[in-house]
Chain A
Amino acid sequence: MLKCNEVSQLIASGEAENLSWMKRMELRLHLMMCQHCRRYADQLKTLGSLARKAFESSAEDVAILTRLEEKIVQECFDHPSGKGNAG
């Protein structure tokens, strides 16, 4: 029987996605019975969607990206200077 701290470990580390069938059932059963862990799991999921929303590209980014692309192309192809700052 999984304990709450084990459940949080499986979910937060991502191990929950690669469990054996048996373990997966254990996890599902635990979540069915434990509202705390259910809330924990929900909050981690919310975190993901918040992050996606937060870092979604905005209209303003399009201008930045266009400018960046020009700068990179100019630095690398238009003016081959041979100054190697690799690494």
Chain B
Amino acid sequence: MMCADKMNNDKERAAFADPGFVARIQSRDEQALRAVVRAYLNQIFRAARGAGLNTEQAEDVTQNTFVTFIETAHRFEGRSHVRTWLFGILYRKIAEERRQAQREGRTDDILEIMEQRFKTDGYWLRPPREANLDLEDAEIRQLIEDCLQTTSTQQRLAFVMREVEGVESKEICNALDVSVTNLGVLLYRVRNRLRECLEKWGVKR
């Protein structure tokens, strides 16, 4: 099923990049806009939840994302793919909300944690421990959400876009407005943060 999904997605992605279709988006053609909604609603909703929102919050921010997209469709120039544009709107909405809730910008000490895992010669001081991560789906989701608490919206979305949606680096960079180097730093931090957390959890178990 994953494969069929991917093939459909690829075909759809190509069709949406067509200049004729971009022009229809710009002119706010209802059928075109509704096709975009139908095509990407699932991915945007999933990404919103992956970014740490509960179902209700994820619904709200997904709705806002598409409403903003439709209201500002005349500004869409087709320089990036319409999906990238949507992920960008989603990112800015979530970041804005988290800033207001003052949950953004907490100190991120993962670099320090990683540093302490290695000896000065660069080899492992405290190597990764074997962890049992054989979990039920609901447990995994809860655990990942808990583990992502201290990460930034940018880190989470980078992780979800890469790992869950399989989006290419260039598109992630465009949506999150970061350079390729920055994306590497974001992924490095969020993956290590998650690994540390899951390791702790899996060993304890």
Q: Give A residues with C-beta under 8 Å from B.
A: 3-6, 8-9, 12-15, 36-37, 39-40, 43-44, 46-48, 50-57, 61, 64-65, 68-69, 71-73, 75-77, 84-87
Known: A52-B164, A57-B46. 14 other contacts (CB 8 A): A14-B183, A36-B124, A43-B131, A43-B199, A44-B191, A51-B159, A51-B163, A55-B160, A56-B137, A68-B59, A69-B37, A69-B41, A72-B37, A72-B70
> Closest chain A residue to B138 by CB distance?
A54
Q: 18 A–B contact pairs at CB < 8 A?
A: A3-B123, A14-B162, A39-B127, A39-B130, A43-B128, A43-B195, A47-B198, A50-B133, A54-B141, A55-B49, A55-B50, A56-B137, A57-B46, A65-B42, A68-B41, A69-B37, A77-B34, A86-B68
> Closest chain B residue to A58 by CB distance?
B137
Which applies to chain A's interface (DSSP): helix, strand, loop or mixed? helix
A78 to B84, CA, bound (A): 26
* Interface size class, chain B: 35 or more
Also in contact, A52 and B71, with CB within 8 A (given A12-B191, A43-B195): no
For B185, list chain A residues within 8 Å (CB): 13
A2 to B133, CA, bound (A): 29
How far in angstroms is the closest Cβ of chain B from A62?
A: 9
Question: Do A64 and B191 have beta carbons less than 8 Å apart?
Answer: no
For A56, list chain B residues within 8 Å (CB): 137
B26 at the interface (CB under 8 A from A): no
Among A6, A37, A86, contact of B72 (Cβ-Cβ < 8 Å) = A86
Question: Do A51 and B127 have beta carbons less than 8 Å apart?
Answer: no
> Closest chain B residue to A47 by CB distance?
B194
